[in-house]
Structures are given as C-alpha cells and as structure tokens.
Amino acid sequence: MTVAERIENVVNVHGIDIEVRTYGTGSPLVLLAGEEQLEVDSPFVKELARDHKVIMPSPPGFGVSGRPDWLTSPDDLAYIMLDLMEILGLENVPVVGCSLGGWIAAEMATKNDSSFSRLALIGAYGVKVGGPFDVDIQDLWIQHPSKVTAMKWRDVEKSKRDYASMADEQLSVIARNTESFARFCWEPYMHNPKLKHRLHRIATPTLVIWGENDGVASTAYGKAYAGLIEGAEFTTIPEAGHYPQIEQPDAVLKPLRAFLA
C-alpha cells in the first residue's frame, strides 16, 4: 500500500492560524506531536498513515501556528485544539499525543472526551505525582545539552539532526518550538497542578506508552500517570528513551494498532 504524501493546510481557529499536516486517506486519527515535532515525516507517522488519515495540527506557538499573548499554558492550548477538532468535524476519533502533545491531549480529554474514541499517551508530561521535593520530571533547561540528550535518548545517535543542511525557515521553526516549549511549560515546571485532579473525568479507553529507558520521566512516573486515569492500560517499550515512537516505531505501533483496532 502506498502512503500518501503530506498535505499542509492552515485552519483559522477563532482568529488563530493553525498549521495542519495530513497523511494518508483512511479513517481519521489526530496526532499531537511532541515539543520538537520529531514526528513530522517520521517512519512512525508514515506507518500510521497506512491505516488512518493522520491529522497532525501544530498547537499555537509550534511549527508556523500563531501564538497570541493570551495563551500561557498547555491548558489553554487544549481549548484551541478542541475548537480545531470541532471546526474540522472530527468526532469520535482516536487521538494520539506524544510528550507535550500527550499533555495537551490529556487536558483536552478532561474537558470533553466525547470527541475521542480512543486516547493514547506516549511519554506524556503534565502531572506532579511525587511530593514537593521529588523530581518527577528532570530539569531540561539547567543541565548540559549532552546530558539532556542522554536523558531523552536510549541511542543518542538517533538524536542527531543535520542542522547545517537545513534552510533558515526550518531552523527558525526549531528555535520557535524550543521557545514556546519553555514559555508554556516553565512555571509551574512541566505540569498543571490541577490536571491530576481532573484525569478521573476521562472515560475514553486510554493507553499509556512509555520508553523503558526514559531519563526525563521514569516508568514509575508513567505508571502513576496511567493510574490516575480509570481503566488505563500501561505498556513499556524496551530500548527506548523519551521518544519511543522515534527510536522504536515498530515496537510502539504493535500495541498501538492493537489498542486502536
């Protein structure tokens, strides 16, 4: 089966231009990428597009989507993504969220999960499960980049990107993604204090997927996250860090496809 090429579009959501990429032509599935947007044109998304029409919007501040000043948190972004789904006529569809995209997807589902048929969270941020002095999520901003890379990746070779060959527009997007990630997730650090008290509202069947070697947030964190969602399944991916869908796409797709079937 031939995988359709990427189609790009811009959808205006109540005054905010949102970049939307689409792959494939099957039944619709919404994919909320991580803060680095590594999923764009990845083997993971192209394989998903063999079974689904994968709709991948860039939340405000990421890619080339607009970012008005009144948006200050992933909680805010969740409302924009719900509005986008409504505008696109997406109801009762599976939603997959990766890393920051998983946080946004979880926020969305606590507000209105009637648009979701299934929810899959891959390495999601967003909750504080330990005490005030417990480090649930490693600080990615104060540590040396090489150490951060080792936290994120089981195989650091897979983290390498050829920046020298990229056009200025691509580099600007990468820098903007990093800026928006810090803007939305710095304070409180990488979580919404209210989210863990709302996750019980999610009635949608949920699967939480975690890299076994995730050095950013441990599997214990992932299990605790899943435990806050009634009936959620939890699975780990061997030989993968914080981005298992990039490091081990086939290993992620196996339980994900079974869950979505």
Do the Cβ atoms of 46 and 252 come closer than 8 Å?
Answer: no
User: Would you say residue 32 has pLDDT above 80?
Assistant: yes
pLDDT tens column, 44-81: 999 999 999 999 999 999 999 999 999 999 999 999 99
Q: What are phi and psi of 143, to 5 degrees?
A: -100, 160
Give residue 4's pLDDT: 59
Paired with 97 in beta bridges are: 32, 121
Read off the pTM: 0.96
Q: What is the mean pLDDT of residues 83-88?
A: 97
Helices 74-87/100-111 angle, 10° precision: 70
d(Cα 141, Cα 35) in Å, to the nearest integer? 14
Kindly list the distances between the CA atom of residue 2 and the CA atoms of 9, 45, 84, 183, 250, in Å, as whole numbers in the listed order.
Answer: 21, 14, 28, 39, 18
Q: How far is CA 75 from the centre of its chain?
A: 14
Ordered structural domains, the chain, with CATH: 7-260 (3.40.50.1820)
